[in-house]
Amino acid sequence: MRSEISGTTLPVLTVTLEAGETILAETDRLSWMTSNVAMRTTTGAGGASGFFGVLGRAISGGGLFMTEFTAQGGEALVAFAATVPGNIIETHVAPGQGFLVHRHGFLAGAPSLSVGVGVQQSLGAGVFGGDGFVLQRLTGEGTAFIELGGEIVSYTLQAGQDLLVHPGHVGMFEESVGFEITTVPGVRNMLFGGDGLFLAHLTGPGKVWLQTLTAAKLAHALRPYLPAGEHR
């Protein structure tokens, strides 16, 4: 399997598969492909089999179904475009070296990967649309491609070193990084409501990728241009 990430503001991931090779993605992420790619929709893809595996994947931001794209009869091409302005990054997942990713971060990857719910916490409808704060847990073994919003700022935290981050800016971090939601009292937060500011507390060791564009800020910027009936 060969991959290329091209573009700037709205990048696209292009994957070239050898005959018999397969890549996994959410059902709605396909942009284009050659005619010799076979698609198989499954509830058991990504290492999540059975009702609870499927339910966990849906809670973590994915759909109930995933799609396997397999090259037939020779080399084939399949492409996945970003859904918001930002970046696509390639990373390798290994046993015991997984990642936690923002709820819509997983773009595509090896069929041996497992995508499930990592963190779920109710914070406020103002930022997360009433669904709470959710992180996907990405485990297994193989290459994964992750979509992050806006620009990416990364930090390698040493043991005990920490960061306080607005939850919407948490893009991805190694599962060795400690994570908890904390509240800064006395700060009026108009997005979350109330008199406390919710922040993600990340503690090393491990690497953290932060995204500069949050879904809430993008929605807020677009709201004045939507028809009146869609201001929700």
Average pLDDT, the chain: 83
Residue 57: what pLDDT?
A: 52
pLDDT of 196 > 80? The answer is no
Domain count, the chain: 1
- In this structure, is residue 231 part of a structural domain? no
Q: Helices marked H in the chain — which ranges?
A: 50-59, 125-128, 215-222
Residue 149: what pLDDT?
A: 95
pTM of the predicted protein model: 0.83
Which range, of 112-126, 144-158, 199-213, averages the lowest pLDDT?
A: 112-126
- In this structure, is residue 190 part of a structural domain? yes
Q: Which of 58-72, 104-118, 188-202 has the highest mean pLDDT?
A: 104-118
- In this structure, is residue 7 part of a structural domain? yes
CATH code at position 123: 3.60.160.10
Residue linked to tokens 């015991």? 96
Structural domain for 40, as ranges: 2-226
- In this structure, is residue 196 part of a structural domain? yes
Going by pLDDT thresholds of 50, 70 and 90, the confidence category of residue 116 is: confident
Q: Where are the beta strands (DSSP E) in the chain?
A: 2-6, 12-17, 22-26, 32-33, 37-42, 66-71, 76-81, 86-93, 99-102, 106-109, 113-121, 133-140, 142-149, 152-157, 162-165, 170-174, 178-185, 196-203, 206-211
Higher-scoring residue by pLDDT: 219, 126? 219
> Reduced to 3 states, what is the DSSP secondary structure of residue 16?
strand
- In this structure, is residue 232 part of a structural domain? no
Residues present in the chain in total: 232
Q: What is the pLDDT of residues 26-65, one digit of tens each?
A: 878 999 999 999 999 876 544 444 433 444 555 544 556 7
- In this structure, is residue 10 part of a structural domain? yes
Residue linked to tokens 């190694």? 174
Residue 52: what pLDDT?
A: 38
- In this structure, is residue 191 part of a structural domain? yes
Q: What is the pLDDT of residues 84-93, one digit of tens each?
A: 999 999 999 9
Going by pLDDT thresholds of 50, 70 and 90, the confidence category of residue 75 is: very high
Q: What is the pLDDT of residues 146-190, one digit of tens each?
A: 999 999 999 999 999 999 999 889 999 999 999 998 887 666 554
